[in-house]
Structure 1
């Protein structure tokens, strides 16, 4: 489990298809302090398992489904990637409940500076829009953010300067694809209500 509070941005070293899986190699610093083989790390909001550590480089094996369903397929060497270690039992819960299981991808429609803050608008898939509410939670590339606007085909959030400084959003542009994870609690409530009606 994660909270959507990005700890650092890593750098993509390589991402290539192998005989049995896709291999992703990332250069990192802060998250290395207590990370071991087999640990989970949220990479742009996608929960991946560390399979190798060499110095400051982390390696992950990805299945075809992960590559197909997330924005990770578009990663190139030199790209920045949001990183968050899984929540420790005695850790602070600063964001919201994030599983690291990406629901869908969305396209950045608008990303611009407005006054002292930045406005980000993202197209969302129709089958997940019922989970969006004003002032609700959304994880975008693993970042726990508050929904500021809900439109027929999109959502919008406001970003403070700190978010841009600590995440890979500082390099994002309109037209790019991001990972989306919708509110886990809303999905459970929907499932329970559907079961009750049956």
Structure 2
């Protein structure tokens, strides 16, 4: 489990293949002194397993499923990626619950300056529209953000200066593909609604029950 608060940025130094698995070597800007083999780490929000590490870099591997559902195929030597280690039981939940399981890939469709911040518009897969809630949470490339506006299958979030500086969000360009993970509570509610229509479950009933 993660929070969507990026700890540091890393640079992809090498990409390889081990049988059916894609291997990715990364040099983090801030070294992780106590990294261990088998540890889970979010790379642009995608939970991957550490398979080796040294003083200046570490390697993770991505399964065929992860490769097909994320922006891992877009990585090249020099690519910059967001890094977050798994949440400790004693840690603070400063963002929102992020599982590290990517729901789909979105496309940056617009970036507009708004005061000191920037408005980022992302086009989502059409089937994921039901998960998007105004003022709800979303993880974009592993960054916990708040959805400000929805227009059909496009959502808008604000990128404050701190977020643009401390994550790869400052490098986003129109046309970039990004990993999307929707809020887990919203996904559960959508699933309940789709499966329990025979019981006449509605949004109003969920709200009356405290959701």
Structure 2 unaligned residues grouped into runs of 5+: 199-211
How large is the RMSD of aligned CA atoms in angstroms?
1.4
> What residue in structure 2 maps to residue 80 of structure 1?
80
Structure 1 unaligned residues grouped into runs of 5+: none
Question: Cα–Cα, structure 1 residues 87 and 31, in superposed 2: closer, same or farther, change >3 Å?
Answer: farther
Any idea what SS the aligned residue of 1:162 has? helix
Deviating more after overlay: 11-20 vs 178-187 = 11-20
Q: CA deviation at 1:175?
A: 0.4
Any idea what SS the aligned residue of 1:147 has? strand
Using the size of structure 1 for normalisation, the TM-score is: 0.95
Is 1:12 the counterpart of 2:12 in the alignment?
Answer: yes
Contact 2:71–2:177 under 8 Å retained in 1: yes
Note the 1:112-127 alignment, pairs <5 A.
112-127=112-127
Q: CA deviation at 1:64?
A: 1.7
Note the 1:38-187 alignment, pairs <5 A.
38-187=38-187
Note the 1:25-36 alignment, pairs <5 A.
25-30=25-30, 32-36=32-36
After superposition, the C-alpha distances for 1:121-167 in whole angstroms (9 at most, x for unaligned) are 00011111111111100100000000011110200001110000000
User: Whose radius of gyration is greater, 1 or 2?
Assistant: 2
| Structure-1 separation of matches of 2:31 and 2:48 | 14
Contact 2:13–2:25 under 8 Å retained in 1: yes
Contact 1:7–1:31 under 8 Å retained in 2: no
Using the size of structure 2 for normalisation, the TM-score is: 0.89
Deviating more after overlay: 27-36 vs 68-77 = 27-36
| Structure-1 separation of matches of 2:31 and 2:181 | 22
Any idea what SS the aligned residue of 1:189 has? helix
Q: CA deviation at 1:81?
A: 0.3
Any idea what SS the aligned residue of 1:23 has? strand
| Structure-2 separation of matches of 1:179 and 1:20 | 21
| Structure-1 separation of matches of 2:148 and 2:109 | 15
Contact 1:2–1:84 under 8 Å retained in 2: yes
